[in-house]
Amino acid sequence: MLKRISALVLAGLTAMAVTSCGSGGTTSASSGGGDSTVTMGFSQVGAESGWRTANTKSVQESAKSAGITLKFSDAQQKQENQIKAIRSFIQQRVDVIAFSPVVESGWDPVLKEAQNAKIPVILTDRAVDSTDTSLYKTFLGSDFVEEGKKAGQWLVEEYKDSTDKVNIVELQGTTGSAPANDRKAGFQEVIGADAKFQIVATQTGDFTRAKGKEVMEAFLKSTPDIDVLYAHNDDMGLGAIEAIEGAGKVPGKDIKIITVDAVKDGMQALADGKINFIVECSPLLGPQLMDLAKKVVNGEQVPARVVTEETTFTQEQAKQALPSRQY
Ligand code: AHR
């Protein structure tokens, strides 16, 4: 009997832990175990890419090992879902809110609500464009402009002996997102110094493989003589490879491909010669995020900006790195 009652209580608790968040997005709660003193509300962008899956895993596992209770909400790439999730975290009086903003603009009102409720906010992975930086305690993540520059520098080096025009097509990330804005700007800044580099078509592929394929198919039909594809992440690049092969061309040879992220599937395509260069963007932000969260909750001083360390990969470097690649 006791066993049945325990099972029922457990089932009830599990049902409570996975709940729906308003009309969109999903929320789940997991306890870090031990005597956890900090509760974090985390609003994730979605599950659009291999990078995002690895980032979610890193956040969830790190919360567990840091003894932080995590209320995790998936916004399914919609800003309105993130705003709802943040409001719900405020109502639940979590100790700290962390989120990776889908887009850069439009956050001031909800961040102000968190500030009025005296709940500290940490930005992770992506930035917001608020001019009032008192609305969040710190921003942990990559330098996306630098990533775009690294992509451009590889291209400049690759074509240094040629004077011919280089036709580039660009698959942008989610419109209005920090990585899409910054990777475009950094790349443009570097290639803009030489008029032979021309972006002949550019469109969003929303950071997904399916959209990357669809947009690349359209590029291949509308744009003759594509020399280079610059995709703002691996997933869009991998989708584009399918489109290129479908059009009877050889990715990595007929069309050179540069991507960002360096997730396993991307690295495999790089090692196989289908991608030519990848700029790393690390999703393993969990441990640093939990560390910052504890400090912020304890009222300790934290740096306003924590930049992730990252590298780049050529085809040869990918072959060496693949066996020990974590994500
Ligand atoms: O914000 C990081 C970006 O978001 C990654 O580069 C991309 O894969 C993801 O969807």
Q: pLDDT for 125-159, tens place per residue? A: 999 999 999 999 999 999 999 999 999 999 999 99
Choice from 261, 267, 310 to test ligand 1 binding pocket (greatest atom count within 8 A of CB): 261
Choice from 125, 145, 284 to test ligand 1 binding pocket (greatest atom count within 8 A of CB): 125
Q: What share of the chain is helix, strand, coil (3-state, %, to 5)?
A: 45, 20, 35
Q: From ligand 1's centre to the CA of 224, what distance in Å? A: 29
The two beta strands, 68-74 and 38-44, are parallel
Q: From ligand 1's centre to the CA of 271, what distance in Å? A: 21
- Average confidence (pLDDT) over 291-300: 97
R_g over Cα of the chain: 21
Does residue 270 have a pLDDT over 80? yes
Structure tokens at 176: 């209005």
Q: From ligand 1's centre to the CA of 203, what distance in Å? A: 16
Give the residue, 20 or 86, on which the prediction is more confident: 86
- Average confidence (pLDDT) over 44-62: 98
Q: What residues does 20 pair with on adjacent strands? A: 26
Q: From ligand 1's centre to the CA of 317, what distance in Å? A: 22
Choice from 44, 45, 181, 308 to test ligand 1 binding pocket (greatest atom count within 8 A of CB): 45
Specify the ligand 1 atom closest to the Cα of 281: 6
* Residue written as token pair 């008029």: 195
Could you give the 3-state DSSP secondary structure of residue 170?
A: strand
Q: For residues 176 and 327, what is the distance between their CA atoms, to the nearest angstrom?
A: 26
Confidence of residue 24 (pLDDT cuts 50, 70, 90): low
Q: From ligand 1's centre to the CA of 189, what distance in Å? A: 21
Confidence of residue 171 (pLDDT cuts 50, 70, 90): very high
